[in-house]
Structure 1
Amino acid sequence: MRTGSSPTRAFTAVIALALASGAALGASPAEAAQQPDLNGVWRMDGYGTVLSFQQGTLDEYQTTGVSCLKGESAQRSGPTTFETRGGQTVFRVRPGTTHDHAALHIDGSVGDRGLRRIAALPDACRHTADSGPVATFDTFWQTFEENYPFFAAKHIDWHAVRDEYRPKVHPGMDDDQLFAIFRDMVAPLYDGHVVVSDGGHRFFGQGRPGTVVPGPGLDTQIKAYVQRRDLGTGRTLQEYASGRISYADLPGGQGYLRISAFSGLAGPGATYAADRAELDKALDGIFTSRRTAHLRGLILDLRINGGGSDDLGLRVAERLTDRPYFAYAKRVRNDPADPSRHTTPQPVYVRPSPTPRYTGPVAVLTGGSTFSAGETFTQALMDRPGPTVRVGQPTQGLFSDALERTLPNGWTFSLPNEEFLTRAGKTFDGKGIPPQYGEPVFTQEEFDKQRDSAFDRAVALMNT
């Protein structure tokens, strides 16, 4: 779920789940009659989650075949909406076709999550969880076993991993030893959405080998290099959205648009609603009627992009088309015992914005530091009706929302459990979206020789 506010959602995304139900205070009898009766307990399709709604409070339970742990809570804020503390995350319920089915939408994410009514909380949810090393290990391993979709693609035998490491776990081991086991178990996945943290100094997360995780320091360095090398004197990047979006007009009627994140646009800790408003303000300032009428080509630089909200990426894509088109389809692993079973893919479309739009040629610059929502945005441009090319290096290979889990000992970890599909049913997880024109991206040789080969190739392509 790309609703976090950090530069790279891959390492800091927090997932909370909630559900709205019942008659809101002040609702009319007609409005109350239309509201679904969702009091009770619901199991989410995929996501290893059970939701309990009672008396205006929604409680999340994170479940596996061996565990049940209490998760987030949210309070009703409207007839069919719930919010976590401070309004950081907003959830909306959508009635299903029957009394026992519904759907949950999370602001900032794309698609809905199916809900099915169940009789009661699982038995494990009624008991205090064992917080010792063995129970913590079993919950950690089982969560991946039931939710991670990519073991086969990455040639990882997860059962062999359990056979190797579980005998090393015992009640008297210390935290350093247990954390090292978890780190060693997941390190071979090379998955930036796999993160383990004790909430203090112990932290593990990594990107694909040979790539660099985007962050504020790298973003500042590269922005200065682009300003100096690509734009030169006389042309300055105009910054928007807390510096995460910048734009400059180039010679020959071309434009350069740089987006370094789809979160934190309204500042650290901003809500999705605030980020969305800030994005719209930035896009209104960039895609003016005058500029869109005269623009001959647009270079869209995503080479340093830490991700964020998929929905915000779609809002940018809406400024780049004059007719609706297919962006991607989203599905989630939906059988704890069978990694080949998924929910029915939900198609997601880009629809033209009613504001001024640019529909001419676009060159998308990508690299290994293009993460998460930066990648779903890249994927959303692949079937764009206007001429579109990709230049640079493959993206990182992270598309799923990060499923955040809590362990019995209080540690947290995250993992992906979704796939974003092309029209042909292909995914780019692991390897990333490849460019059509391969060029080096911010290598030491490029810096030493004062080059930006990907930018120069994009300029040349826009001039043809």
Structure 2
Amino acid sequence: MNDNRKTRTARRLAALLAAVSIAVAGQAGADAASTGREPLDGLWRADGYGTIFSIVQGRLTTFDTTSISCLPGLLSARRTAGTRGEASFAAQEGGRRIAVRTSGPGRARLRYLGSVGAVELRRLPALPAACATLTPGDPLKVFDVFWTTFAENYPFFALKGVDWRAVRDRHRSRIGPDTGEAELFGVLRDILKELGDAHTALLAGDRQFARPLRPGTRQLDGLPAFVAFDKRVREFVERTATRKPLRQWGQGVIGYADLPGGFGYLRLGAFDGYADGGFEANAAELDRALDEIFSESRTSGPGRLRGLILDVRVNLGGYDGLGLRLASRLTGRPYLAYVKQARNTPEEPPGFTRPQPVRVRPASGPVYTGPITMLTSSLTISAGETFTQAMIGRMPRPERIGESTQGAFSDFLWRKLPNGWSFALPNERFLTRDGVSFDATGIPPHLPVPGVLSDEELDGDRDAAFARALAFLASGR
């Protein structure tokens, strides 16, 4: 880190600490003088996530903590509405919405709009001592903060058969005090490649490494590659399966076609990207599409659908809340979607936060309750997978056809490094009613179809998984 960057970082840290100290002192006086519901201003430590949230004068910021470090985090949000014990915030970058409300003496809950579950918070009287000092940005310290953050938050070393201490011993020896940025980036990138976890990323200025997919699955390098492959698959479906163009919504991410015999085909390339403006705008566009797709003529009466093919074989993810929104249009009764937890101990095997059950509830609008087949592949990722998992408890049971999903369910936990770089990792798991996690392995199909969306299939004239799905529905099983 050069001297100018050190000076700027030190000044920012000093200003942030001064503001937090004033807020904490003011909060202590307010708590002593008031017997009413406690306000939100002050410091809050998350259960899990390794994060301290600071709410000061209408602004929410974070500190990223490990056993060896405390750094100002990436999140900065301004208050947009609320009362003394409840407030909404909008992130300055990306406009993500956050809601915080008190839930008892010294307790609060934080929710990210569009995510599922909540982050449990406990009031913190003061920042840890490590937060008051500038963490060195030398290569070894950067490596140690990176490694320790994974050691204390990543839940899946055992599932992946990774000895994390051996990873440290093997790669730390490649770093010295004179290691350059390119070399350091290469070391951290190589570690992420070993994990093969689609919910990891490393951002270092012009150098970026994001979303390495599970070994043995199709590798797509970056968002443009995903977009191009998605377009190729859509054209393949229209040529070989539906044999006509899909009706599209959400900037082409949502597509639907009626099929001969009273069946329907619904394709979702993601649970995001439907509209500009964050979760609310995306939800409104999804609702508009589903209102038209699940019209009264398709959900009741003599012309109603006999069966529906749901295609999430190429689904990059997005908002878990949108997956639940779709699931709510596909059931006439409430049921458990999954249980969500975050890792909250540094030990191995790890401990987890209190289980938070997430339920699917029937929508107030038109719903489809008939037979469903679901097409999945290793490119069913993130919110595409939480949606697939949310459909497991649906009755009648959707028949999954194709390949196992990618095995990356958690939200991204974004963290800062001492040299200004940022990185992401998963720290949550999603469990079935029976306590099963599909992380690392993905959700398996009921009916496997080899070579789903392989280059050989895409260059041919038959969509084998689609044909299997349609035949299953036509059989009436």
TM-score by shorter chain over 0.5: yes
The answer to whether the 8 A contact 2:45-2:121 is kept is yes
2:473 corresponds to 1:462: yes
- Deviation by residue 1:166-194 (Cα, 9 ceiling, x = unmatched): 23221211111111111222322111111
- Work out which of the two has the higher radius of gyration on C-alpha atoms and give 1 or 2: 2
What is the aligned partner in structure 1 of residue 101 from structure 2? 94
- Partner residue of 1:169 out of 161, 175, 178: 175
Q: Is 2:368 aligned against 1:358?
A: yes
1:190 paired to 2:199 = no
Asked whether the equivalents of residues 40 and 101 of structure 2 are also in contact (C-alpha less than 8 Å), the reply is: no
1:298 is matched with which residue: 308, 314, 317? Answer: 308
Distance in structure 2 (CA, Å) of the matches to 1:81 and 1:108: 14
Once residues 285 and 364 of structure 1 are traced to their aligned partners in structure 2, the CA distance between those partners, rounded to angstroms, is 20
Aligned counterparts, 1:383-394, within 5 A: 383-394=393-404
Q: Match of 1:236?
A: 245
Q: Is the 1:333–1:339 contact (alpha carbons within 8 Å) kept by the matching residues of 2? A: no
Alignment of 1:271-282 (within 5 A): 271-282=278-289
CA distance in 2 between partners of 1:162 and 1:410 (Å): 21
Residue 38 (1) aligns with residue 40 (2): yes
In structure 1, C-alpha distance between the alignment counterparts of 2:133 and 2:343, rounded to whole Å: 27
Distance 1:381 1:33, change over 3 A: farther
1:325 deviates by 0.5
- The residue that corresponds to 1:220 in the other structure is 231
CA contact (8 A) 1:303 1:368 kept: yes
Q: Which of residues 164, 171, 185 is equivalent to 1:179? A: 185
Aligned to 1:438: 448
- The amino acid that maps onto 2:76 is S
Alignment of 1:39-438 (within 5 A): 39-71=41-73, 72-79=75-82, 80-85=87-92, 88-96=95-103, 98-212=104-218, 213=220, 215-232=226-243, 235-267=244-276, 270-293=277-300, 294-438=304-448
Higher mean Cα deviation, 352-361 or 404-413? 404-413
Q: Distance in 1 between matches of 2:347 and 2:397?
A: 43
TM score, norm. by length of structure 1: 0.89
SS in 2 for 1:428: coil
What is the percent sequence identity of the aligned residues? 48
Work out whether residues 66 and 145 of structure 2, in 8 Å CA contact, stay in contact via their aligned partners in 1: yes
Q: Deviations over 1:271-330 (max 9, x none)?
A: 111111111111111111111121100000000100000000000000000010110000
What amino acid is the match of 1:84? A
RMSD: 1.8
Note closer, same or farther for the CA distance 1:217–1:141 as it changes in structure 2 (3 Å cut): same
3-state SS of 2:161 partner: coil
Name the residue aligned to 2:9.
Answer: none
CA contact (8 A) 2:271 2:323 kept: yes
Summarize the Cα distance change of 1:358–1:231 in structure 2 as closer, same or farther, 3 Å threshold.
same
Q: Given the two structures, how large is their TM-score scaled by the length of structure 2?
A: 0.87
Higher relative contact order (CA 8 A, sep 6+): 1
Report the residue type matching 2:42 in the other structure.
G
Residues 204-229 of structure 1: CA distance to partner in whole angstroms, max 9, x if unpaired?
54101232347110011010010011
2:35 and 2:365 map into 1 onto residues whose CA distance is 37
Q: Which residue identity does 1:76 align to in structure 2? A: R
Tell me the distance in 2 between the aligned counterparts of 1:455 and 1:342.
39
Question: Runs of 5+ in structure 2 lacking a partner?
Answer: 1-22, 24-33
The amino acid across from 1:223 in the alignment is R
Counterpart CA distance in 1 for 2:211 and 2:453 is 22
Structure 2: which amino acid aligns with 1:60? T
* 2:249 counterpart letter in structure 1: Y
- Per mean C-alpha deviation after superposition, the further-off stretch among 177-186 and 258-267 is 177-186
**Partner SS, residue 152 of structure 1:** helix
**Cα offset, 1:263, TM superposition:** 0.9
- Please give the alpha-carbon distance, in whole angstroms, between the structure 1 residues aligned to 2:121 and 2:50: 12
Q: 1:35 to 1:455 in 2, by over 3 A?
A: farther
Aligned to 1:5: none
2: CA distance, partners of 1:445 / 1:252: 29
Cα deviation, residue 38, structure 1: 2.1
State the distance in 2 between where 1:315 and 1:101 align: 29
